[in-house]
Amino acid sequence: MRALVLFLSVANFVLANEASQWRLVWSDEFDGPELDFSKWAVEENGHGGGNQELQYYLDRKKNVRTENGYLVIQANREKVNVAGVQRDFTSGRIRTKRRAAWQYGRFEVRARLPKGQGIWPAIWMLPEDERYGGWAASGEIDIVETVGHQPDKVHGTLHFGDKWPNNRHSGSHFSVPNGDFSKQFHVFSLEWEPTEMRWYVDGELYQTINKWDSTAAPYPAPFDQPFHLIINLAVGGNWPGVPNATTPFPALMRVDYVRVYQRTEPAGEAPETQGVDKEAAE
């Protein structure tokens, strides 16, 4: 019994010490009546994201809003014609570019991801300045994304190396047996260190990457520069395919919070990392 108590005490000390190494530096709880535009910009374009996507991203509450303490990004099946660009779907995409960017840290997002053929939600990062060249020479960090026809699986990926089409990527996925990431909220986290990145789902480590390269500069380039956050809900594209008659619309991506931590000294109190469970409160 004494040995068990000693083991639990040591385990709790290790967890507390690890938590104390991260300091909260930026967050959005989405509790306001509208999106905080000092933190986010809403993008508008119908360019297809380089992936043959089918949506037009629009800046309107029908596609991007805060609601009951959540960020809601909504994809709709509707025909639009904007400046001669015609699309059969609309959706939303927001980013922190020119508002906030970080070089290294722990990025934590609690979200509920939609499902359905052709649905493609993503929470990811791009370089604030393309110091090493166009995509993907300056890098891309995918914290979490999923394709809607595989609702039991999420992916974490790095893109790097050189400009398209000579770029490379590295990544893995996390699966929930007989699960469905659209049924409830999960916490998706990335810990980005100078020479290593780690991906978590609900605190469970599922991937570590410490090898990447750049044709433009020595390691650890291109991931030695500030990156900003992007949250979007794409429709269609090379990876998820085209929506069909079974795809539910509107498709809703809900985000409870986004929190960014950076390394600090192990001493001192750990920042609060547990948010209010708004589902349970409702």
Query: What would the pLDDT profile of 111-125 be if each residue is shown by its tens digit?
Result: 999 999 999 999 999
The CATH number assigned to the domain with range 27-266 reads: 2.60.120.200
Which tens digits make up the pLDDT trace of 169-182?
A: 999 999 987 789 99
Cα–Cα distance, 104 to 198 (Å, whole number): 12
Token reading at 71: 């960020």
Which tens digits make up the pLDDT trace of 157-211?
A: 999 999 999 999 999 999 987 789 999 999 999 999 999 999 999 999 999 999 9
Token reading at 122: 């993503």
Mean model confidence pLDDT for the chain: 90
Cα–Cα distance, 222 to 133 (Å, whole number): 10
Predicted confidence band of residue 280 (pLDDT cuts 50, 70, 90): very low
Other residues' Cβ atoms within 10 Å of the Cβ of residue 76: 18
Q: Which of 29, 53, 145, 191 is catalytic?
A: 145
Cα–Cα distance, 147 to 153 (Å, whole number): 8
pLDDT of residue 179: 82
Q: Which of 18, 140, 196, 272 is catalytic?
A: 140
pLDDT of residue 18: 57
Instruction: Give the residue, 145 or 20, on which the prediction is more confident.
Output: 145
Q: Where exactly are the structural domains of the chain?
A: 27-266
Three-state DSSP state, 61: coil
pLDDT of residue 277: 44
Q: Is 269 an annotated catalytic residue?
A: no
Q: Is 29 an annotated catalytic residue?
A: no
pLDDT of residue 230: 98
